[in-house]
């Protein structure tokens, strides 16, 4: 068992971005830590506004902070709004990190993402690959901001002795995910496609490209568990990858999702569409050495994500049509609901 170096029990813990996929999972996980969970909606505190962040922080005096707020989006959103992605994330994270320093916050975790690594990094990607090559241009705006965020944590540690750490999660899925086909990631898109094909009695679903690219996935509740583990047992400058350490091809994943959802038709491939990077897998050696490994298998996790999708927002009409709102599903069958009043709020 790794040594407990920071206990959350009895602490005032602020989760920035508590309505998001990761933030809400952290809130669910914190419910069993015996701490007081602090949150603020965007209407109460716009994290891009330094005055609002500093006022809230000095009034509420959290002991610990999880920084899970970010302007998040896919390739299209990055390409369309590069200034917003760079500016919002740079400013938001700088405001929270600096205000946490000024308010003497004991411990802070910054959440980044695997997009910080060079496009052609060796696989599995080790933490030391950071800044060893050029970024993937499609989301460099977001990546640059995230790299600045983790560097900011390192800088406050170096200059001010602050215990600010950073975690870099792989692709996440689960409750709270975005199921809008126009902007969703591959896992929720496949779940929704397979579900709609089943309901509409379609003969086939089509995936982009050859289906051979391999990707890694981690259930968001596992990610939250890893974040708490690091918060309690890790204190150092270097960021830590958070992943499952296993990858799967998109074709295999489509088969698995179809089976879980109950879609029995054919899977076809649109070979005119691009494949993207052949493989993206994080090295999780460091996290394992620190004593954490995932608990939710892919099958179990996808079933949970599908239930969350159905529970939250998919109303199947008696005529077999689906009526799906684009709000995010928030419930998890894997973990008991938290007593926190904020955990299951819809996005607003």
Ligand X SMILES: NC(=O)c1ccc[n+]([C@@H]2O[C@H](COP(=O)([O-])OP(=O)(O)OC[C@H]3O[C@@H](n4cnc5c(N)ncnc54)[C@H](OP(=O)(O)O)[C@@H]3O)[C@@H](O)[C@H]2O)c1
CB nearer to ligand X: give 269 or 345: 345
* Smallest distance from ligand X to CB 19, Å: 4
* Rounded Cα distance, 59 and 102, in Å: 12
Angle, helix 186-199 to helix 298-313, in steps of 10 degrees: 60
| Contact pattern for ligand X over residues 219 through 258, marking x by CB under 6 A | ----------------------------------------
* Rounded Cα distance, 88 and 142, in Å: 10
Per-residue H/E/C for 88-157: HHHHHHHHHHHHHHHCCCCEEEEECCHHHCCCCCCCCECHHHCCCCCCCHHHHHHHHHHHHHHHHHHHHH
Q: Is 116 in the site for ligand X (CB under 6 A)?
A: no
Q: Is 171 in the site for ligand X (CB under 6 A)?
A: yes
Q: Which of 14, 142, 156, 306 is catalytic?
A: 142
Q: Is 78 in the site for ligand X (CB under 6 A)?
A: no
CB nearer to ligand X: give 150 or 205: 150
Measured between its terminal Cα atoms, the distance across the chain in Å is 40
Cis geometry, peptide bond prior to residue 124 (ω within 30 degrees of 0): yes
Closest-by-Cβ residue to ligand X is 20
Query: Tokens representing 112?
Result: 């980044």
* Smallest distance from ligand X to CB 307, Å: 18
Site stretch for ligand X (CB under 6 A), options 7-15, 107-115, 120-128, 316-324: 107-115
* Smallest distance from ligand X to CB 74, Å: 10
| From 169, 174, 213, 312, residue interacting with ligand X (rule: CB under 6 A) | 169
| From 96, 172, 189, 191, residue interacting with ligand X (rule: CB under 6 A) | 172
| From 23, 175, 245, 301, residue interacting with ligand X (rule: CB under 6 A) | 23
Q: Is 92 in the site for ligand X (CB under 6 A)?
A: yes
Which helix (H) or strand (E) segment is 168 a member of?
strand 163-169
Which helix (H) or strand (E) segment is 199 a member of?
helix 186-199
CB nearer to ligand X: give 21 or 65: 21
Q: Is 19 in the site for ligand X (CB under 6 A)?
A: yes
Write the CB contacts of 30 (distance below 8 Å, at least 6 apart in sequence): 8, 13, 15, 37, 228, 338, 340
The size of the interface with ligand X (CB under 6 A), counted in residues, is: 24
Angle, helix 140-160 to helix 82-102, in steps of 10 degrees: 20
CB nearer to ligand X: give 95 or 263: 95
Strand partners for 107? 64, 163
* Rounded Cα distance, 309 and 126, in Å: 33
* Smallest distance from ligand X to CB 47, Å: 4
- 142 flagged as catalytic: yes
| From 21, 143, 281, 284, residue interacting with ligand X (rule: CB under 6 A) | 21
What is the β-pairing status of strands 171-173 and 247-249? Answer: unpaired
Q: Is 305 in the site for ligand X (CB under 6 A)?
A: no
* Rounded Cα distance, 332 and 225, in Å: 14
In the region spanning residues 33 to 72, those forming contacts with ligand X, defined by CB under 6 A, are 42, 46-48, 68-72
Q: Is 347 in the site for ligand X (CB under 6 A)?
A: yes
Dihedral angle over CA of 285, 291, 297, 298, nearest 10: -40
Query: Tokens representing 347?
Result: 């996005």
Instruction: Check residue 42 and give left, alpha or beta (phi > 0: left; psi -120 to 50: alpha).
Output: alpha
Angle at 160 between CA 159 and CA 162, to 5 degrees: 120
* Smallest distance from ligand X to CB 12, Å: 19
Q: Is 22 in the site for ligand X (CB under 6 A)?
A: yes
Q: Is 84 in the site for ligand X (CB under 6 A)?
A: no
Site stretch for ligand X (CB under 6 A), options 19-27, 122-130, 193-201, 204-212: 19-27
What is the total residue count of the chain? 348
Residues identified as active-site:
142
Would you tell me which residues interact with ligand X (CB under 6 A)?
17, 19-23, 42, 46-48, 68-72, 92, 111-113, 169, 171-172, 185, 347
């Amino acid at each position: 068992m790794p040594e407990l170096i920071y206990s959350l029990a009895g602490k005032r813990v602020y989760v920035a971005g508590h309505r998001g996929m990761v933030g809400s999972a952290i809130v669910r996980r914190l419910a069993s830590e015996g701490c007081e969970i602090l949150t603020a909606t965007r209407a109460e505190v716009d994290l891009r506004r330094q005055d609002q962040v500093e006022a809230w922080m000095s009034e509420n005096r959290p002991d610990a902070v999880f920084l899970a707020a970010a302007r998040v989006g896919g390739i299209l959103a990055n390409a369309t709004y590069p200034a917003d992605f760079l500016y919002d994330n740079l400013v938001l994270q700088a405001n929270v990190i600096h205000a946490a320093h000024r308010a003497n916050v004991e411990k802070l975790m910054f959440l980044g993402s695997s997009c910080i690594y060079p496009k052609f990094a060796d696989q599995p990607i080790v933490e030391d690959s950071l800044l060893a090559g050029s970024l993937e241009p499609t989301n460099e705006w977001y990546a640059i901001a995230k790299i600045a965020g983790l560097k900011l944590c390192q800088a406050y540690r170096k200059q001010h002795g602050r215990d600010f750490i950073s975690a870099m999660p792989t692709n996440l899925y689960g409750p709270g995910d975005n199921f809008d086909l126009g902007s969703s990631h591959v896992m929720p898109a496949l779940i929704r496609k397979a579900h709609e094909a089943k309901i509409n009695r379609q003969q086939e679903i089509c995936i982009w490209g050859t289906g051979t690219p391999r990707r890694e996935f981690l259930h968001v509740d596992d990610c939250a568990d890893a974040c708490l583990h690091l918060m309690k047992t890790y204190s150092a400058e270097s960021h830590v990858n958070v992943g499952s350490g296993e990858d799967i091809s998109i074709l295999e994943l489509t088969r698995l999702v179809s089976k879980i959802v109950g879609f029995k038709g054919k899977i076809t491939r649109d070979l005119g569409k691009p494949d993207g990077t052949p493989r993206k897998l994080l090295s999780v050696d460091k996290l394992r050495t620190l004593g954490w490994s995932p608990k939710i298998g892919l099958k179990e996790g996808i079933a949970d994500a599908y239930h969350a999708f159905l529970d939250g927002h998919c109303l199947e009409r008696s005529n077999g049509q689906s009526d799906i709102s684009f709000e995010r599903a928030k419930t998890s069958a894997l973990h008991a609901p938290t007593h926190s009043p904020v955990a299951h709020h819809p996005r607003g």
